[in-house]
Amino acid sequence: MTDVVRETVEAVLDQVNAISLPGPGYTRPSYSPEESAAHRVIEDRAVALGLQVHRDAGLNLFARLPGRDRSAPALHVGSHLDTVAMGGAYDGAAGVAGAMALAAAFVASGETPPVDLVVTVTRAEESVWFPVSYIGSRAALCRLHAAEFEARRADTGRTLADHMRAEGGDPQAVLRGPGLAPAQFVELHIEQGPVLFDAGEPYALVTGVRGGLRYRQAQIHGTWAHSGGAPRETRADAVFAFADLVVAMDAIWARELAAGHDLAVTFGRVEGATPEHAFAKVPGHLGFCVDIRSDDVAELDRMDAALKAEIAKIEARRHLRFDLGALSRSQSSALSASLAARIADGALRLGQAPRRMLSGGGHDAAAFAQAGWESVMVFLRNWDGSHNPAEGMDPADLAEAVRALKAAWGDAQGQPG
């Protein structure tokens, strides 16, 4: 099993990552021809293994290996193949490669899994393209709302419905349902931080996924003025106002962490380079986004109130106006302790004891958990961060995690096959 797992992991990653818009890094936008081409790679490999392949109306891909008990809830394993712009080789793709490697291991060993094993490849997980969370997985679960189909993709301005139809999907059928019935979902994914790399550990089990609160198109409206002629007390400087907000929120973040709350605050985009901005001008406008995350809904609500309170103070002090724009949120999700325990038991048979940890990023596993599924994640050691061309992952780590899944659901007790 060891060889087929490693070979499958490397082959899938090579084939998928050969499909991208021009670099640096890898770019496969949500509901794009590139994302569709990556899905066809998986379809072709799944058919070659003898799996039964189908797509739903939202174009999620499911490749099924029949199990011994066809009436029991299936085990879905997978992730997504879209990327952020100029992202890395492993975010999403590693989970799909791992799912294919698990299926290949069962086929190569001649074993029948205890229940149907479904390699699950979702669409449009990366919400940088559309301001909607977990589009593909929520489409599969019939949990998207009609208004969300009118969300516009960041690079084209066309609606989600338009892009879905262009790739062969059917938005109306997604809305009609029915969605997938509750089952089990395991998502393999690179950690999006340095914890496992710093600890020298290949993989970990994820206990929960943080929720998020985002203002994606916030703006500050000040007053343009001459940099030498405008007195300090009369200025409405958008850049100084933004600096005030960043400093204030950083102090609040530190205070909340000291009090034991889970929290992350990020100002991920700052836009000021327009033709109006110039060397000798007081800046009268600035755009930005803010991303606040926590595993506690009440903490997110507190931080939203704190953000708005700080803005009110700055507006009064700086004589300008903030417009936060539309709010988008994703719900925090506890993941399945029983599935984590099963994987931990499989790992123990291999002499491993993966740690438990929290996910700071949002993932499809959260959408499945929110729909009543048993859902869990396995994090893989990663270096140089995530959502950038330098993402690092050792395929051997992914192979070890797949072997733990095989030990947990197979008859071979983790022995090579």
Amino acid 417: pLDDT? 34
Return the SS3 of 97: helix
User: Quick one: average pLDDT of 239-244?
Assistant: 98
In tens, the pLDDT along 105-154 reads 999 999 999 999 999 999 999 999 999 989 999 999 999 999 999 999 99
| Residue 416 clears pLDDT 60, i.e. is over it | no
Confidence tier at 413 by pLDDT (50, 70, 90): very low
Amino acid 276: pLDDT? 84
pTM for the structure as a whole: 0.85
Domains of the chain: 1-210+332-409 (3.40.630.10), 211-330 (3.30.70.360)
User: Quick one: average pLDDT of 245-266?
Assistant: 97
User: Quick one: average pLDDT of 92-109?
Assistant: 98
Check residues 383 and 360 and name the one with the higher pLDDT.
Answer: 383
In tens, the pLDDT along 327-352 reads 988 888 899 999 999 999 999 999 99
Amino acid 153: pLDDT? 97
| Residue 152, both tokens | 């516009």
Check residues 306 and 133 and name the one with the higher pLDDT.
Answer: 306
Query: Residue 100 is which amino acid?
Result: M
Check residues 2 and 414 and name the one with the higher pLDDT.
Answer: 2
In tens, the pLDDT along 260-297 reads 999 999 999 999 767 788 899 999 999 999 999 999 99
User: Quick one: average pLDDT of 17-44?
Assistant: 97
Amino acid 411: pLDDT? 75
Amino acid 275: pLDDT? 79
Confidence tier at 2 by pLDDT (50, 70, 90): low
* Token pair 């089952």 in the structure block, residue: 183
Amino acid 184: pLDDT? 98
Considering the chain, what is the average pLDDT of its residues?
95
CA-to-CA distance for 130 and 126, rounded, in angstroms?
Answer: 8
- Binding-site residues, please? 80, 91, 126, 189, 387
For residue 207, CA distances in Å to 17, 43, 55, 334 come to 29, 31, 29, 6
Amino acid 274: pLDDT? 75
CB neighbour class for 398 (10 Å; exposed up to 12, middle 13-18, buried from 19): buried
Cis, bond preceding 178 (omega within 30 deg of 0): yes
User: Quick one: average pLDDT of 20-31?
Assistant: 97
Give, as one character, the DSSP assignment of residue 199. H
Amino acid 146: pLDDT? 97
| Residue 58 clears pLDDT 90, i.e. is over it | yes
Angle at 327 between CA 386 and CA 295, to 5 degrees: 55
Q: What percent of the chain lies above the pLDDT cut of 70?
A: 98
In tens, the pLDDT along 229-240 reads 999 999 999 999
- Binding-site residues for Zn(2+), please? 80, 91, 126, 189, 387
Amino acid 286: pLDDT? 97
